[in-house]
Amino acid sequence: MSEKYLIFGATGSIGSNLAEQLKNSGYDVHLVGRNGVETKKISEKLGCTFTIADVLDEHFIKKVKADISEIKGIAYCVGSIDLKPLRIVTEKDFHKCMKLNLYSAVEVIKEYQESLKKNKGSIVLFSTIAAQRGFTNHSIIASTKAAVEGLTVSLAAEFAPNIRVNCVAPSLTKSKIAEPMLKNTAVAEGIAKAHPLKRLGEGKDSASLAKFLITEDSSWVTGQIIAVDGGRSKLS
């Protein structure tokens, strides 16, 4: 039985923190990232295996499967921030976002479904609070992540009792993809104050929940979309 956890988006704020938390707790991980330098750097630091692959590439899953065939869990920590007013949104914008966040996640799950079933594994996907709460200019990412939430509950029902499937829905988290929004100090402070807990998210916040959900610590939890958002989705 495999005890290795497969982490996509391993160089991001959440993915890298999750890898570190799992390794520090004695679990084995395999990292997948598109940035070769950063992925290798993290893998060397943690002492784990890795694959350089871009989930937007047509045959990315073959590269990953060639490096690792048996797993205990998947954390698909891939995300994007696509903010545009609807009047300039194109079909290509939606397709790219769906490929990155949804279609490739489905490819990964299909490829490893039998391994996860054999190992009584777990899948953790990532959404955003924007999927449930309306924000201006979020039509692309909110629609896409809402589809991820639908996938979560559908697969949780389909795969039970052999594979658990859950989803983490963060609010704005300090990360490379959020840098364009947060480079203005006044804007960053304003966004932080909009949260009842008066700060922005850190990668470790969502990673801690993902670690709980992907391991046996959450063995009686499936089909859940859980917000990590400083209270914003419910309290403000």
Tens of pLDDT along 159-175?
999 999 999 999 999 88
Kindly indicate the confidence band of residue 2, based on its pLDDT and cuts at 50, 70 and 90: low
Cα gap 226→207, rounded to integer Å? 12
Q: How close are the terminal C-alpha atoms of the chain, in Å?
A: 45
Cα gap 101→115, rounded to integer Å? 22
Contact yes or no for 135/191 (Cβ under 8 A): no
Domain map (residue ranges) of the chain: 4-172+202-235
Kindly indicate the confidence band of residue 180, based on its pLDDT and cuts at 50, 70 and 90: confident
pTM of the model: 0.96
Backbone phi and psi for residue 173, each to the nearest 5 degrees, phi listed first: -120, 140
Look at residue 174 in the predicted model and tell me its pLDDT. 86
Nearest alpha-carbon partner for 104 in 141, 77, 83: 77
Cα gap 219→46, rounded to integer Å? 26
Look at residue 81 in the predicted model and tell me its pLDDT. 87
Look at residue 1 in the predicted model and tell me its pLDDT. 57
pLDDT for 183 beyond 90? no
* 101: Cβ contacts below 8 Å, ≥ 6 apart: 78, 79, 80, 141, 144, 145, 147, 148
The mean pLDDT of 122-149, rounded to a whole number, is 95
Cα gap 208→76, rounded to integer Å? 14
The mean pLDDT of 35-60, rounded to a whole number, is 97
Architecture of domain 4-172+202-235: 3-Layer(aba) Sandwich (3.40)
The mean pLDDT of 135-148, rounded to a whole number, is 96
The pLDDT mean for the chain works out to 95
Cα gap 30→233, rounded to integer Å? 32
pLDDT tens per residue across span 52-68: 999 999 999 999 999 99
Look at residue 41 in the predicted model and tell me its pLDDT. 98
Look at residue 236 in the predicted model and tell me its pLDDT. 78
Cα gap 42→1, rounded to integer Å? 26
Cα gap 46→50, rounded to integer Å? 11
Tokens 């996907």: give the residue: 125
Tokens 């797993």: give the residue: 71
